[in-house]
Chains A and B, each alone.
Chain A
Amino acid sequence: MGTTLQEDNGLTKFFKWLWNGLERTMFLGLKFTFPSRFVSPMGFLGMLTFITFIILGITGALLMFYYEPILDRAWDSVERINDVIPYGFHMRNIHYHASNAMVFLALAHMYYQYFSGRYKIRNEVLWVTGVILGTVTILEAFTGYDILYNERAELAISIAASLTNSIPVLGPDIRETVFGAGFADFVLRFYALHVFILPIVMLGLMAVHFPRFLVFDVPMVMAISGAIFVTGGVFPVELGFKFEPASPPGVTVPEWYLTGLYAYLRSQYDKFVTGVLWPGLFIGSLALIPFIDRYKKFSWKDRPLVTAIGITSLAQIIVTTYWGFYIDPDISKSLTERLVIDPILLYVVMLLLVPLSFGFTYMLIKLARHAEMMNKMEAAKRKASGETRKSISLPENWTWILIVVLLIFQVYLNLSAYYAATAGFRNVELFLVGLVLVTFAGIFHIYRYANQQAKIPKPASPKPPAATKEVVVKPVMQPAAAAEVAQKPVPQTRVVNPSASLPGSTGPATGSMDSQTMADSRHLKK
């Protein structure tokens, strides 16, 4: 409606009091940034990982109401959640796909930080806690799919317990202490680890790991949540077969984030070396990389050796992940033949990937340098001919057409979601809700983009902002104007945070949330 609140009523007074009180909490120590325009999500992959953690926390807490961590009831209770409990199917699917998304986002986050060299400049502590946090994330996901107690889970539980058992000298004692005596204990303890101990450890690590500047891009968060829902709808997670001790399971493979490790285990070599030592070495060397990397520069192009090592690790992860999944489909061969990966072949391939990746990195850097040079030459040419740099941007009327189409699509999707819900389509419904979220993200993004385009004075654009190159939020506009842009798409904010629309106010005590964060975003410039 656009009206500003001129005088305080009881409610606004209360919110202001609350807002001022927050000064004493840690929240204002963190600099939250709600970017008013598109920022490359690469920079805030960590934040997105945290968002999926929140989604997992909520759905997981709800699943706890029905799940029973008892050896002979675990699978049945999951089946009940899946088939009987209203929306249990949805909860389970969201929880499962969010867990995959979290592992994937955490890995992507790590590799982005790795290649962009952000673990330097006194960020070593963040990096090391991040590596530990990533490991715990995988353990958390691992314990999660174990407590289903289907055939695949049994395979995973037994591998975890027997690998612990294989640690020299202390192994059996550690196994008994951590996992208990038998499978009845394993299920219960994996549950305790999954729902309480590991999340608490993760929260503790997060408290250390959080950087001071956080980017919270609403459309991106919406898009990620939507993507999780969509995958939940398109690929509903299987229940698997209940594990029956009397009838041993068929051939199963673990989840994708562990098949790399599984490929090594399948090479028949000593299980302690392949199952504990290799992953331990991998994680250890990852944690130590900021102390080994002595390059003065940050860009991956300027750190050829470190980049090459990173590319090698990626190549090896991709190859082993696929290899761990692959089981010879020829049933006429014996199981051993189908399952066992020739260790010589495996290790030779792993070694071969090293020079290949180094060569690939060399080529990449050459190409990137070349492209950089060409760009510079072209810019110089343009400067000589007096042209200003052109940027590709969507014509204004097209922006409006797109946004109207998206809005209509959103209305249609909302209606279909409603009908799907009443008709009881489970997958379709989840899929549609996901689409609704993604479309909302799209609308939000185009709206703010259009708004921003409209605000830019035509001649006065001395330097077009390099949007995606660095994840630095450079306010192009005056903070107050920017705040308004950020405000418009979410009218609810006005209700929740009435002080936000007070113009020209400064400081955290009286200022609006968005102008404050926009002002803060200038700190991001290093």
Chain B
Amino acid sequence: MTQQPSEKGKVSRRDFLKLLAAAGTVMSFTPFIDWGKFMPNPIGGNLQRAPVILPDGSQANAKTFPVNSSQAIRYPETGDRVLDEEPFRRWQFIRLPPEYGGDKQDSSAFRAYSMVCLHLWCLWKYWPEEGRKRGECPCHGSMYDPRTGKAFAGPASLQSPPSNVLPRLDLEADQNGNLFIVPPLFSANANGIVGYGRLVKGLNV
């Protein structure tokens, strides 16, 4: 049979075979796509219930931790000196001021938010001074509400959800007032993703 010139909209047999060969060549390299996993190096680790350890080494206690103050804590801790320096593992542990319910003796007086600012990933911190009482980022002045973790001023507040609410850790206290971190789920709909944000209904808007 002689080859027919391809009509409009029809693929000739030769072109079809060429396409087939090209597709086969491409397909033969597909197993290598998985090798891309070499690059990302995800933060794994087992996320377990852990005590809130303050920088001085003691466990945070609802009865003793001063009202309207904050500390930087680590979670999840690895025991590796270098990895524990990681800003992505840094959380701002805040006891709210009295007017926001900070004098309650249970875990509801406390908050723990990722210190990585949602704007450009500088590290913000809580400022307890009268008239401030908010989280402030030193880089571009994003401000966070300590009650919810929502950015209310600065560039982070202008970002679309979920990138305007800080990821948080849930806390609980035992009978003695010792505070613990509840195992989190790092997804946008749960505890949020560090550096990306958290989706909260009615809060993100």
Contacts and interface: CB of A to CB of B under 8 A. Distances in A.
A270 B120 CA distance: 11
A339 B122 contact: no
Contacts of B154: 268, 336, 340
A180 B72 contact: no
Contacts of A250: 138
Contact of B141 (A159, A178, A271, A335): A335
Given A165-B195, A183-B86, A334 B141 contact: yes
B136 A265 contact: no
B153 A336 contact: yes
Interface string A326-351: 00000000111111100000000000
A181 interface: yes
A249 B82 CA distance: 19
20 contacts: A155-B122, A158-B122, A159-B120, A161-B121, A163-B120, A176-B41, A177-B39, A181-B43, A184-B83, A245-B72, A245-B87, A246-B55, A246-B72, A247-B72, A249-B138, A251-B138, A268-B140, A268-B155, A270-B159, A340-B154
A266 interface: yes
A135 B34 CA distance: 31
A247 B92 CA distance: 11
Interface residues of A, number: 43
A313 interface: no
A71 interface: yes
B120 A71 contact: no
Given A72-B82, A182-B87, A268-B154, A248 B40 contact: no
A70 interface: yes
B139 interface: yes
Contacts of B88: 181-183
Interface in B39-98: 39-43, 55, 72, 81-83, 85-90
Nearest to B123: A248
A158 B82 contact: no
B115 interface: yes
Contacts of A335: 136, 138, 141
Contacts of A163: 120
Residues of B in contact with A, size category: 35 or more
A484 interface: no
B94 to A, nearest CB: 14
B39 A162 contact: no
B124 interface: yes
B149 to A, nearest CB: 17
Q: What 10 pairs between A and B have smallest CB-CB spacing?
A: A336-B141, A158-B121, A182-B88, A176-B40, A246-B72, A335-B141, A248-B123, A177-B39, A162-B121, A268-B155
Contacts of B41: 176, 180-181, 185
B40 A177 contact: yes
Contacts of B72: 245-247
A338 B138 CA distance: 11
A134 to B, nearest CB: 24
Q: Which of B42, B115, B122 has the most CB of A within 10 A?
A: B122
Contacts of A334: 141
B138 A248 contact: yes
Interface string B120-150: 1111110000000000111111110000000
B36 interface: yes
A181 B122 contact: no
A181 to B, nearest CB: 5
B119 interface: yes
Given A245-B115, A335-B138, A181 B120 contact: no
A249 B155 CA distance: 18
Contacts of A246: 55, 72, 90
Given A155-B120, A334-B141, 19 more contacts: A71-B82, A72-B81, A73-B82, A158-B116, A158-B122, A159-B120, A165-B196, A181-B41, A182-B87, A184-B85, A246-B55, A246-B72, A248-B122, A248-B124, A249-B123, A335-B138, A337-B141, A340-B154, A340-B155
Contacts of B143: 336
A172 interface: yes
B203 interface: no
Contacts of A184: 82-83, 85-86
Given A155-B122, A248-B122, A336-B153, A162 B82 contact: no
Interface string A53-97: 000000000000000001111000000000000000000000000
A340 B39 contact: no
Given A183-B86, A271-B155, A340 B141 contact: yes
Contacts of A162: 119-121, 195
A154 interface: yes
B146 to A, nearest CB: 16
A270 B87 CA distance: 24
B58 to A, nearest CB: 15
Contacts of B153: 336
A71 B136 contact: no
A183 B82 CA distance: 10
A184 B72 CA distance: 18
A73 to B, nearest CB: 8
A339 B40 contact: no
A154 B140 contact: no
A181 B40 contact: yes
Given A162-B119, A248-B123, A268-B158, A70 B90 contact: no
A176 B36 CA distance: 11
Contacts of B121: 158-159, 161-162
